[in-house]
Amino acid sequence: MEVSKFLPQLHSCQLKIAEEIKRVCDKNNIKYFIIAGTLLGAVRHNGFIPWDDDMDIGMLREDYNRFLKACETDLGEDFILQTTYTDPAYGLNFAKILLKGTRLVESVTAKNNCFKGIYVDVFPFDNTPDDQALAKKHDKKIYFLRRLLLAKQNYSVSKKGELLKSAVYFALKTICLFFTHDKLCNALEREITKYNGQNTRKIVNVGGAYGYKKETLERSWFEETVSLQFESDLFSAPSGYKEYLEYFYGDYMTPPPEDKRYNRHDLVELDFGEY
């Protein structure tokens, strides 16, 4: 579907969710930070990138766990916390906060039975080993377990004509028949958090769009936060946001050419309800 004409309304709903996440975090003294295109939008546009279609927030694992716990009592009645534990049909290793009364369906979730609504992603950041061989092994194990969980939950990971991907997906769906949902989720979280008791120089956002290697980042960028303007509000950002943005986007203050300005979530259904 053509999303561009709906972006202002979508952004309004996403901002409402992000402000609720911020409220819960502020109330419980939980450190969070905007990341990815949301952080880039704050720095370059003082708000949403005009063609972007989502918002991303990150937390170190300890804060992330506290946030999930706080949501049990403090999340407003207009919102839903979605994790693999609150929604047994959900298959991602990070949380979403959804807006009740809305519906948003992406091509990857069209055949999946998880609850679907307008959302903001909340990503946990975990330790990654300094030893490159161990990090590579960590990456491979997590990748395999994540793909197994997606296959079990009937996410669409291949497109029409992608025969190799379809064959691999079929094999994964066969393998995952031997594992319960809970067993897969627990195995994945154990592997992701395997190095969290160690003093490592870098951390990783396993659920990030660029994959384990690219999403492995300097811990020092996130040890402190600063406030940045995003639309009508101030949100926390990593103090090393300039280094972060340069690492991911290079000359981040220069917008891409118009033919490279697109949103990536391939929406197939969007209903704003009363919003």
pLDDT of residue 172 exceeding 70? yes
Is residue 103 scored above 90 in pLDDT?
Answer: yes
Rounded to the nearest angstrom, the gap between the alpha carbon of residue 25 and the centroid of all alpha carbons in its chain is: 17
Q: How many CB atoms lie within 10 A of CB 32?
A: 23
Give the closest residue to 93 by CA, choosing from 209, 214, 217, 206.
Answer: 206
Which of 42-51, 71-80, 243-252, 261-270 is predicted least confidently?
A: 261-270
Range of weakest confidence among 26-40, 72-86, 169-183, 219-233 = 169-183
Neighbours of 263 (CB within 10 A): 16
Domain boundaries defined on the chain:
4-271
For the chain, the average pLDDT equals 93
One-letter amino acid of 24: V
**pLDDT exceeds 70 at position 212:** yes
Q: How far is CA 191 from the centre of its chain?
A: 18
In this prediction, what percent of the chain has a pLDDT beyond 70?
95
Q: Which residues contact 157 (CB under 8 A, 6 or more apart)?
A: 108, 147, 150, 151, 165, 169
Q: What angle do CA 165, 207, 181 make, to 5 degrees?
A: 70
Q: Which residue has the tokens 């309004």?
A: 12
Q: Quick one: which of 57, 60, 58, 32 has its CA closest to 193? A: 60
Tokens representing 107 are 């091509």
Nearest to 25 by CA among 97, 103, 109, 100: 97
Split at pLDDT 50, 70, 90, the class of 158 is low
Higher pLDDT, 143 or 169: 143
In tens, the pLDDT along 120-131 reads 999 999 999 999
pTM of the model: 0.93
Distance CA 124, CA 208 (A): 10
pLDDT of residue 204: 98
Check: CB of residue 151 under 8 Å from CB of residue 157: yes
Q: What is the predicted pLDDT for the residue at 196?
A: 97
What gap in Å lies between CA 193 and CA 229, rounded to an integer? 32
Q: Count CA atoms within 13 Å of residue 141 on its CB side.
A: 16
Residue 141, CA distances (Å) to 134, 147, 148, 195 in order: 11, 10, 11, 13
| Alpha carbon distance 86, 80 (integer Å) | 9
pLDDT at 163: 61
Q: What digits encode the pLDDT tens for the residues 36-50?
A: 999 999 999 999 999
Sequence-distant (≥ 6) Cβ neighbours of residue 21 within 8 angstroms = 32, 57, 67, 97, 120, 122
Per DSSP, the three-state class of 86 is: coil
Residue 223 · residue 185 · CB < 8 Å:
no
Q: Is the pLDDT of residue 221 over 90?
A: yes
Q: What is the pLDDT of residue 274?
A: 92
Give the least confident one: 44-53, 81-90, 147-156, 232-241.
147-156
With a cut of 70, say whether residue 161 has pLDDT above it.
no
Write phi, then psi, for 204 (nearest 5 degrees).
-135, 140
Asked if pLDDT for residue 73 goes beyond 70, the answer is yes
User: What is each CA distance from 134 to 52, 98, 184, 185, in whole angstroms?
Assistant: 35, 36, 22, 22
Q: How much is the pLDDT for 162?
A: 64
